[in-house]
Amino acid sequence: MTPLNFVKDAPTTIPISPGDQERIQNSPTGSQDVDLQRIAPKREERLFLVLSIFIGVLSGLLVVSFRVAIEWVQTILLGSAPHAHEPRLIIVPACAGLFVAALVRWVFPGARGSGVNQTKAALYIYNGFISFKTVIGKFITSAIAIGSGHSLGPEDPSLQIGAGVASIVARKLRLSRQSLRLFAPIGAAAGLAAAFNAPISAILFVIEEVIGYWSAAVLGSVVLAAIASVSVARIFWGSAPMFRIPTVTLRDPRELTAYAALGVIGGLSAFVFAKALSTLRPRLRAMSPNAQLFQPAIAGLLVGCIGYFGFPQVMGPGYEVMDQALHGQFTWQVLAALVAFKMIATTLSFSSGTPGGMFAPALFIGTMLGAAVGTVEHMLLPHASGAVGSYALVGMGVFFAAFLRAPLTSVFMVLETSGNYSIILPVILANTIAYLIARSLQPTAIFELFTHQDGLDLPSMEEQREEVGLHLEDALTPLRVPLLRSTESLTAAVNQLSLNPEERAMVVQMQDGSCYVLQAFELAMLVQITPESTTLQKALPAERTPLLFPDLPLDSALRHLSRWPLLPISNRASKGTLEGMVTLEDVLARYQRG
Amino acid sequence: MLQQQPRLSPLERREKHKLLLHDSAALCTLFGIVVALSFVTYGLFHSFMAHRGTLETRWRIRGEAAMSANRPDVAVNDLRSALAYSPDDRTLQIDLATALAASGRTQEAQSYFTTLLEQEPGSGAINLQLARLAIRQNNAQAAVDHYQLAIDGTWNGDAFIRRRELRMELARYLIALNRFAEARSLLLITSGNGPDNLPLQLQIGQLLEQADDPADALDVYRKAASHKATRLQSLEGQAHAAAALGRFSDARTLLQQAVGEPSFAHQPAPARAAVQSELQVATQIAELYPSLNLPMAERARRIARAATTAQARLLACEPQPLIQPGGQAAAQPDAQGGNPAARQSRTQLLTSLGEHISSLNPLARKPPQPPAGVPPTAPPSITPPDPLSALADRWSALATGTPLQRQLAADPVFAQKTLELVLDTERATADPSGTCGAPTGDNALWTRIAEAPPQTEGSQP
């Protein structure tokens, strides 16, 4: 299938301009790969690591600029400290929403959405192609939208910007299509790492949510790029974590009950939030293009109203508000109100198609939830509960795990952000509970839901993670053919075959435990050229059947079944003991059963 | 094993060279882009950081101005804005929490301070604010604990002064809680730590007086009196303390000295009037009091006069309603507001006593007659002892038939016993909300004498 076919079949929800279509068609093809492979076979391998560092540095610089741009826009448009009852809180997001919608519709069609699904689409549909225009568009439109107060975050756009940078660099160096596909997640990890200032979380997220598998080939480059981008970001922002983390401790093991409660509340809240998004978004997207043009403006107006009438904290990414909650600066009533209004504001902003990410809102809601639970706990059991900041931090991970369905990333994010291992127990407990509750209430992960709503069919990383692969033991049958020792003679083999004339093969086990599958026609040939008293050991060629064990993947047998009619399966613990055998029919039958 | 290189055609070799050149150029370009982007990012970042610094300063100044103008609500917003630009600024954090507390957002402030304290458990400033919040929430023990932690905590630069101020603040709070012993300890520590700070010593003296420790207050005032600058205040303070100790003669002398001070004339008129009034009281008490240093005749005369005053006061009192074991009044008050049975019993006693005293003591006035027509009734079988009736009994027991003044002059033990009865009577009838009403005239003066600490009696002039 050519890239052109992909583009033709691609849904309109991931818009590709005609110019980009042409570029995708002109992207490196298999024939070019062959030429380059011949004249410079090691070129890509050598370039890969160097380019990973360049991509990391470029992504880091762009993400720093992106964050500064957002803050500049916010300062210019909303003022240095937006407070409730300022009319511009209503006017600015509405006007910015209209402006951004126009830019997305007529100038940067690829900039719509958060950036995570767009990066996955680039990876799985467009051979890792992300245009320069999309990168610029994402930068500008997201900066305006988030800076003007839309309740969205900069992490997902940063991820797409990083992936875009990687894609551009790989294309300019005329790397193969396979490399182009690999570079997109490398850039994504770099962009996210710089945005989070947390390289491990970014690497894990990209592996957990974008690539979906661990590959040694990619891992090295992903790590290099992430470290390079975080190093660049830290030159500017400093090495301090994203939030000022208070002292986090688990004061009393009984506190785990409160953390478990936080997990339950987090799981339920994530479900409510996901439900709101999955309900409103398709309805808004089903409207006419002209109506869609005004959706970000209306969303901005409503978000602005929330800010105007008392909760300006919900506008923008809200990092400083999270910081305040981590330091116990709000009452539980305020925290609960912030959770509710942030959910509403983010649902409106995101569903309207305004460019911007979901990470920061998810972290915001989680932090407020955690702080609220911690504050209540502190009121009820002042001597048995730890700092509110601990709860806020755990809450951050809880909501992230439940809403974005990235449990591993959420745990490491909390640990990396806090720099404190002592909180691991509550984090794992609460995250697991929240994740399980959210999953049982809404089986489809939110990003996957969005891809379905957009008419795409991208692989579900959550399903991939949980996919149970088939193993040889699943197709294993008892040994149905004669088993002979290598010390026995050809006569014994002939006799055995004559006793079971329907058998077309037999397994000969050597003294070292290895096996040879002797077929009837081979035996007939051997008898003609070798004296019948010759032992099988001497008569048989040196070739042996592959040593296979029951826990190996089922497909590992397939490539050997063209040579051997059956394959003996050995026991790992006891050398020379056979567990059974598999044939091509057994394997295919097992695959057909599913 | 070394991999054999494929043999390339001349065209392919040329292509390979082209590719190498292309890659080198691409990497150089990439490097150039990185450098250029670094400069752009650096410029953008530093311009913004500088702007953030300006904004932080602006909001901080506004917040501080709002706090100074007693507008904590405004200050909360301003300081919060300043903190957004400088989140690690400790002073700003404490200022914001203080503003929250000042604006009545006690719970928010409490939560904020608690979190700050978790980050810096030994902070004196944070503990102080938490102590003040605890007072607002009527949590006395938490307040005292936080005050103690604040005193023991860390302070920047002026730790000595802050701890001293804190001890004073805590002492005032403890006095308000009637925890005088703890307050006294704190005040004495503070006094010992700042012996040369005269204004402080005067404050400590005043607080010691409030903490029911006039003796230590007097010592503190005496030390302060050795300095000219605070002589007037310390003399006044000493006089108060001396009066509180019952040493009215000393008080009179000290107040006379205070009035004689040149700076007294420059005092505000109300302050001068108050001192003059105290001097007058001290003088009157000194004239009333039957000091042991007086000649026996004069002392007897003063005690006899005091006895008459005390008896008259006792007689004027309405009796308490008698309580039966069931908890109900044994009898309803009569038309005059008294219990008829108790009234009659005490009236009979006092009548006989009054008659006796008036016959013996020419200074005594005839006590008022009990109301006529009160039928004699037997006292209730089980009644708690009425303190006023008990006093009346004691007065009655004093009557021996000999003229009182002569007996007082002749028998120092009797004189002392009579004086003690006078003081007990004045003490028992002192409560202004009781049935005796507020003491006036000589009774008021005797009440002050009676309420003075007994151990200072011997030091009377």
3-class SS at B375?
coil
pLDDT for A372 equals 94
* Mean of pLDDT values over A9-38: 52
- Asked whether the beta carbons of residue B34 and residue A378 sit closer than 8 angstroms, the reply is no
Contacts of A246 in chain B (CB under 8 A): 115, 118-119
Q: Do B302 and B195 fall within a single domain?
A: no
Give residue A69's identity as a one-letter amino acid code: A
Q: A506 or B350: whose pLDDT is higher?
A: A506
Q: Which of A34, A61, A237, A239 to mutate to test the interface with B (most CBs of B within 10 A)?
A: A61
Residue B239 lies in a domain: yes
pLDDT tens per residue, range A479-492: 988 899 989 988 88
Residue B43 lies in a domain: no
Q: Do B264 and B307 fall within a single domain?
A: no
Residue B30 lies in a domain: no
* Angle, helices A155-172/A359-380, rounded to nearest 10 degrees: 150
Q: Do B208 and B178 fall within a single domain?
A: yes
pLDDT for A582 equals 93
pLDDT tens per residue, range A150-199: 999 999 999 999 999 999 998 888 787 777 888 888 999 999 999 888 89
Cα A371–Cα A373–Cα A374 angle in degrees, nearest 5: 60
Residue of B nearest to A44 (CA): B23
Residue B2 C-alpha, separation from nearest chain A C-alpha, in angstroms: 14
Residue of A nearest to B81 (CA): A81
Q: Which of A158, A236, A237, A327 to mutate to test the interface with B (most CBs of B within 10 A)?
A: A327
User: Which among A58, A236, A244 has the least Cβ separation from residue B88?
Assistant: A244
* Mean of pLDDT values over B400-419: 78
pLDDT category of residue B457 using cuts at 50, 70 and 90: very low
Q: What is the Cα–Cα distance from B373 to A401, expressed in whole angstroms? A: 94
Phi, psi of B188 (to 5 degrees): -70, -35
- What is the secondary structure of A249-289 as a DSSP string? ----TTHHHHHHHHHHHHHHHHHHHHHHHHHHHHHHHTS-H
Tell whether the model's pLDDT for residue A558 goes beyond 70: yes
pLDDT for B378 equals 45
Contacts of A83 in chain B (CB under 8 A): 77, 81
Give residue A297's identity as a one-letter amino acid code: A
Residue B7 lies in a domain: no
The domains of chain A, with CATH numbers, are 3-237 (1.10.3080.10), 255-462 (1.10.3080.10), 472-593 (3.10.580.10)
Residue B56 C-alpha, separation from nearest chain A C-alpha, in angstroms: 9
Q: Do B314 and B244 fall within a single domain?
A: no
Range from B147-156, B239-248, B413-422 carrying the lowest mean pLDDT: B239-248
What is the span of the domain harbouring residue B315?
Answer: 296-320+334-369+387-459
Q: A467 or B437: whose pLDDT is higher?
A: B437
User: Which among A39, A323, A375 has the least Cβ separation from residue B12?
Assistant: A39
Residue B187 lies in a domain: yes
Q: Do B344 and B274 fall within a single domain?
A: no
- Asked whether the beta carbons of residue B112 and residue A331 sit closer than 8 angstroms, the reply is no
The CA–CA distances, whole Å, from A38 to A49, A306, A390, B7, B25 equal 21, 62, 58, 9, 21
Report residue A16 CA to chain centroid gap. Answer: 23
Residue B375 lies in a domain: no
Residue of A nearest to B39 (CA): A61
How many domains are contained in chain B? 2
Q: What is the CATH number of the domain that holds B88?
A: 1.25.40.10
Q: What is the Cα–Cα distance from A367 to A140, expressed in whole angstroms? A: 28
Tell whether the model's pLDDT for residue B23 goes beyond 50: yes
Q: Do B150 and B205 fall within a single domain?
A: yes
pLDDT for A26 equals 55
- Asked whether the beta carbons of residue A247 and residue B118 sit closer than 8 angstroms, the reply is yes
Tell whether the model's pLDDT for residue B19 goes beyond 80: yes
Q: Do B69 and B184 fall within a single domain?
A: yes
Residue B344 lies in a domain: yes
Question: In the structure encoding, which two tokens stand for residue A35, read together?
Answer: 């030429």
Q: Do B312 and B273 fall within a single domain?
A: no
Q: What is the Cα–Cα distance from A190 to A206, expressed in whole angstroms? A: 10
* Mean of pLDDT values over B196-205: 79
Query: With contact defined as beta carbons under 8 Å apart, do A394 and A426 qualify?
Result: yes
Q: Do B356 and B249 fall within a single domain?
A: no
- What is the secondary structure of B53-95 as a DSSP string? HHHHHHHHHHHHHHHHTT-HHHHHHHHHHHHHH-TT-HHHHHH
Q: Do B186 and B271 fall within a single domain?
A: yes
Q: Do B64 and B100 fall within a single domain?
A: yes
Percentage with pLDDT > 70 across chain A: 90
DSSP state of A115: S
- Asked whether the beta carbons of residue A80 and residue B34 sit closer than 8 angstroms, the reply is no
Tell whether the model's pLDDT for residue A396 goes beyond 90: yes
Give residue A474's identity as a one-letter amino acid code: D
Contacts of B12 in chain A (CB under 8 A): 38-39
Tell whether the model's pLDDT for residue B91 goes beyond 90: no
Contacts of A57 in chain B (CB under 8 A): 34
Q: Do B97 and B213 fall within a single domain?
A: yes
3-class SS at A151?
coil
Does the model's ipTM exceed the 0.95 cut?
Answer: no
Residue B35 C-alpha, separation from nearest chain A C-alpha, in angstroms: 10
Residue B44 lies in a domain: no
Phi, psi of B120 (to 5 degrees): -140, 75
